[in-house]
Amino acid sequence: MRLRLLGLLTLALILAGSLGSARAKVEIRVDLTRQQMTVTKNNDKPLVWKISSGRPGFETPTGKFIVQRLDADHLSDEYDQAPMPFAIFFSRGLAIHGTSERGLGRPASHGCVRLSIEHARELFGWVEQYGASIEIDGVAAPTRAAVYTEAPRARAGRVAVERRVAPQPAPNDGFSFFRAW
């Protein structure tokens, strides 16, 4: 009888310990207006990281999301096997993932939330261990560097992005009148 009671007590302690760690959680808040992510792990001090969200025509959705799946070595089927390291999928194939692209802090993606590979690796490990809630709000400002337009791609269902550059005026070197002839 004593062994059985000791066994039940041990089991209760193990279950209580696992329930405590199940409550641990990572809160991910994405601010599209500021192009930054605030991450709070288990009520620790929040960390703030630069991100890049969806550019015009590929806006990142806002709202509250749950983690749908994790993939540490994901390659995009939609965008020519583009690497999406440490992908945390949250909506319609969109993910928070690492990037080696420069220019974090401005909208640049096809709707995903990009962050540095180092931060993505760290976040991925926490989400894998504790689970996460994801909240995205704000409005991304349009990019000023270029105007993007959609053009059909060779494969059906895909969209290519073309960068248009505004025409530059001819230099006034005294000969521009003769070049027009």
Residue 96 falls within a domain, yes or no?
Answer: yes
Report percent pLDDT > 70 for the chain: 65
Query: What is the pLDDT of the chain when averaged over all its residues?
Result: 80
The backbone torsions φ and ψ at residue 119, rounded to the nearest 5 degrees and listed phi first, read: -70, -40
Report if residue 55 sits inside a domain: yes
Q: Give how many domains the chain has, as a whole number.
A: 1
pLDDT at 142: 75
pTM of the entire structure?
0.68
- Domain, as residue range, for 86: 23-142
Indicate whether 94 belongs to any domain: yes
Residues of 97-109 as b/e, b for ≥16 C-beta within 10 angstroms?
bbbeeeebebbbb
β-strands 36-41, 47-50 pairing: antiparallel
> What is the largest distance, in Å, between two alpha-carbon atoms of the chain?
108
**Alpha helix positions (H), the chain:** 2-23, 117-130, 176-179
For 5, the 3-state DSSP assignment is: helix
Report the candidate in 43, 161, 62 with the shortest Cα–Cα distance to residue 108. Answer: 161
Provide the CATH number for the domain around residue 69: 2.40.440.10
Q: Model confidence over 6-55: pLDDT tens digits? A: 555 555 555 555 544 456 699 999 999 999 999 999 999 999 999 999 99
Contact 24, 39 (CB under 8 A): no
DSSP-assigned letter for residue 58: S
Active-site positions read 97, 112
Say yes or no to pLDDT of 108 above 90.
yes
In a domain, 175, yes or no: no
